Amino acid sequence: MTMTPRLRKLALTAHVVSSVGWLGAVAASLALAVAGLISQDAPMVRASYIAMNAIGEVVLVPLALASLVTGLVQALGTTWGLLRHYWILIKLLINVFATIVLLLYMQILGYLAGLAAQTASPGADLGVLRNGSPVAHAGAALLLLLVATTLSVYKPRGMTRYGQRKPQPQPAR
Amino acid sequence: MADPPPYPDAGDGTDLELGCGSITGAPRWVKVLGIIAAVLVLLIVIMVLTELLTGQGPARHMFGGLGGQTPPSSGALFSGVGGHMPLAGGHAP
């Protein structure tokens, strides 16, 4: 089943917006994670973890899910297919993996944000709060999403065995 | 070798201009990417195992690394953060 060109462009726009938005939100989270790790300013450290959690809940998770869904629509609704080309297959794996890790990690971010709210009292030990994990996770996510974006732009050659076996459907007119 | 077929949507005014390429096995870029991914996964597994076995290590990213604190078993701690509740019964993974 293929979409009409107009619908296809709409779906493509939604996919690009959600995917690039996800990338940008991860970059913002990485900046906050670094600030939370190295800043000497106690309110800044606490605010970083609370903001990271808010960004995660309100921006990262919705955009990750939107990117996944619109990517599936884009692949299955066009003659590209989901499993025919390596670059699409690898993007799918990256998207699913990053989304699962994000959903699991939101629990940890929520815990850190709660801890940051609890340590708001003067003299609280920020060493308990400082944590390199958000930096590592946001950095890895940024790397993965950059790989996915690069694959989308370059569309490197290569068809899977499935793609070679299946006859190529005719594009929609 | 047969000519590679054109990309399916080529010519409809979009940005799809490359051919499909090799029809024999995975192309080199897929193999290189796979090797890099395998090495990274191996490193992560080693870091996690190191943490589990010694209680220390570069991957000590959660509650063992937070001054020995354990996550809350109720949502009370999270009431100050927009009412966020843990996803799985209040326990960290």
Contacts of residue B18 in chain A, CB cutoff 8 Å? 154-157
ipTM field: 0.76
Task: Mark yes or no for CB contact A155/B18 under 8 Å.
Answer: yes
Of A131 and A95, more confident: A95
Q: For residues A2 and A171, is the Cβ–Cβ distance under 8 A?
A: yes
Query: Is residue A53 very low, low, confident or very high in pLDDT (cuts 50, 70, 90)?
Result: very high
Task: Mark yes or no for CB contact B66/A115 under 8 Å.
Answer: yes
Residue A49, pLDDT > 50, answer yes
Alpha carbon of B63: minimum distance to chain A alpha carbons (Å): 9
- Structure confidence by residue, pLDDT tens digits, A62-90: 999 999 999 999 999 999 999 999 999 99
- Structure confidence by residue, pLDDT tens digits, B5-20: 445 444 443 444 444 4
Given this model, what pLDDT does residue A98 score? Answer: 97
Average pLDDT over residues B45-66: 67
Pick the closest to residue A91 from A138, A10, A160, A2 (CA basis).
A160
Alpha carbon of B31: minimum distance to chain A alpha carbons (Å): 11
Angle at A16 between CA A14 and CA A22, to 5 degrees: 100
Angle at A147 between CA B87 and CA A141, to 5 degrees: 25
